Amino acid sequence: MTALLTILILLSITVAIWQMVKIFDLANANTENSQIATDKDNRVNGYLMMAFLAFIYIITIVCFVYWGDLPLMSNAASEHGPGLDALMIVSMVIIFIVQTITQFLLHYFAFKYKGEKGKKALFYADNDKLEFIWTIIPVIVLAGLIIYGLFTWSDIMNFEEEEDALIVELYAQQFNWKARYAGEDNVLGMSNVRLIDIDRANILGLDESDPNAQDDVIATELHLPVGRQVIFKMRSQDVLHSAYMPHFRAQMNCVPGMVTQFAFTPTITTAEMRQTPEMIDKVANINRIRTEKSKKLAEKGEEPLERYEFDYLLLCNKICGKSHYNMQMKIIVESEEEYQAWMKEQQLFKNSLVQN
C-alpha cells in the first residue's frame, strides 16, 4: 500500500511539474523561443550548479554522520583485519580529498564561467606542463596504494601454515552450509561428490575407506577457537557459492570440482564482541528498529520479531539460486576450552553413518 501511495504521489508531482513547464513555455511564447540556452538560462543553471555542489557535500556528510560507523569496516575480528581496515581508511581518505576538490572545481567553474552574450572564451588548447602534473600525481599516489595493497594482499593470501592450525572444510550446497572438522589427526578425509550416499547419511561424499575420514566431524554451526589459525578448505557440490565472513574480512568462492582456501586467525570471541561498546550500540539500535516493526506486525495480528543478539555470520555472497538470500551459518568464536568441550559432543563421521 505504501508503495502504491508513493507512486501516486510521484505521478501527481510529475503532472504538476509538467503543467508548470507548459505555463512557463506559454509565458515565453511571444519572446524568443529557439530552445537554445539564453543568458537567463545560463545564470539560473550556473547557480543551480553551485546548489548541486552543496547537495553533493551535504549528502556526503549525511551519509557519514548516519551510516559512517561502518560496523563491518571497524572492529575487525581477525588478525589480518585491522591491517586491511587501515588500508581501507587510507584509500577512503585519498578518495575523499580528490572527490571534494575535483567536484568543487568542476561545479565552481561551471558557475563562474556561465555564458553571457558578447563574452568570449579563452582560446586555450594545450599545456604540456599541466598534463604532466596531473599524470605524475596520480602515478605517485597510485604507486603508493598499489604497493601498500599488494603487501596487504600477499600477507593475507600467502599465509604460512602455523603448527597448531585448525583445518576446517566449508561445504556449500543449495542453500546451506556445512562445516567439516578434520578431527584428532587434523587431516581431512578424502572426498568427492560421487561418493555421496544419502541412504547411509554420507552427505558430503567422504571416502569411507580413508582412515583420515573416520574422525572427521560434520557440523551445521561453525565453532572456532580464538587465537588459533583456521585454514578453510572450501568445496561446493552444485553451483558457485561464496563464503563471506565479513567480520573477519574473509571471503572465498566455493567452486564445484575444485577446492579453494582461505585462512585467518579469529581474535575476538563472540562473547567479547557482544560486549564492545560499538556492538552494544549497534544491537540496541537494531532492537529499537525491530521493536517498532513488531508493533506494526502485532497490529496486523502477526508474530512479533525476535530480539536480536549479535552473532558472527557466514553468508553466501555469490548468486546461487532461489534461496540465495537466506543461505547462512552461525559462527561462534570461543575459548579453546569451550571449543574442545563442544567438539567432544560432536559425532565422529564413522559413528554418524547409517549401518545397513
Q: CA 162 to CA 214: how far, in whole Å?
A: 24
Q: Does 231 bind another protein (CB under 8 A)?
A: no
Stretch that binds another protein, among 66-74, 219-227, 269-277, 343-351 (CB under 8 A): 66-74
Site for another protein, residues 168 to 207, rule: CB under 8 A: 173-174, 192-194, 196, 198, 205
Strand, coil or helix: 146? helix
- With CB under 8 A as the contact rule, the residue among 165, 255, 343, 353 that binds another protein is 255
Pairing of strands 230-236, 166-173: parallel
Site for another protein, residues 233 to 252, rule: CB under 8 A: 234, 237-240, 242, 244, 246, 249-252
For cell 563421521, the residue is 349
Q: Does 154 bind another protein (CB under 8 A)?
A: yes
List, in sequence order, every residue forming a beta bridge with 231; answer none if it has no partner.
167, 263
Cell, residue 282: 549497534
- With CB under 8 A as the contact rule, the residue among 17, 61, 93, 201 that binds another protein is 17
Q: Which is nearer to another protein, 9 or 341 (CB)?
A: 9
User: Total residues contacting another protein (rule CB under 8 A)?
Assistant: 135
Which residue, 81, 228, 225, 226, is CA-closest to 156?
81
Closest distance of CB 285 from another protein, Å: 5
Q: Does 8 bind another protein (CB under 8 A)?
A: no
- With CB under 8 A as the contact rule, the residue among 16, 54, 61, 92 that binds another protein is 92
Q: Does 57 bind another protein (CB under 8 A)?
A: no
What separation in angstroms does the CA of 287 have from each of 148, 272, 305, 331? Answer: 39, 19, 9, 21
Q: Are 225 and 335 in contact (CB under 8 A)?
A: yes
Q: Does 135 bind another protein (CB under 8 A)?
A: yes
Site for another protein, residues 114 to 133, rule: CB under 8 A: 114-116, 119-127, 130-131
Q: CA 313 to CA 63: how far, in whole Å?
A: 25
Q: Which is nearer to another protein, 154 or 351 (CB)?
A: 154
Q: Does 73 bind another protein (CB under 8 A)?
A: yes
- With CB under 8 A as the contact rule, the residue among 50, 71, 228, 335 that binds another protein is 71
Q: Does 290 bind another protein (CB under 8 A)?
A: yes
Cell, residue 320: 546461487
Q: Does 355 bind another protein (CB under 8 A)?
A: no
Closest distance of CB 214 from another protein, Å: 22
- With CB under 8 A as the contact rule, the residue among 54, 93, 201, 325 that binds another protein is 325
What separation in angstroms does the CA of 5 have from each of 14, 76, 297? Answer: 14, 42, 20
Give kind and range of the element (H or E) at residue 23.
helix 2-27
Q: Which is nearer to another protein, 308 or 342 (CB)?
A: 308
From residue 21 to residue 40, the character string flagging contacts with another protein as x (rule: CB under 8 A) and all else as - is: x--xx-------xxxxx---
- With CB under 8 A as the contact rule, the residue among 161, 321, 341, 354 that binds another protein is 321
Which residue, 78, 83, 72, is CA-closest to 278?
72
DSSP assignment of 44-81 equals HHHHHHHHHHHHHHHHHHHHHHHHTT-TTTSS--BSSH
Number of Cβ within a 10 Å radius of residue 211: 11
Cell, residue 220: 551445521
Site for another protein, residues 206 to 225, rule: CB under 8 A: none
Q: Does 89 bind another protein (CB under 8 A)?
A: no
Q: CA 188 to CA 169: how far, in whole Å?
A: 8
Q: Which is nearer to another protein, 257 or 337 (CB)?
A: 257
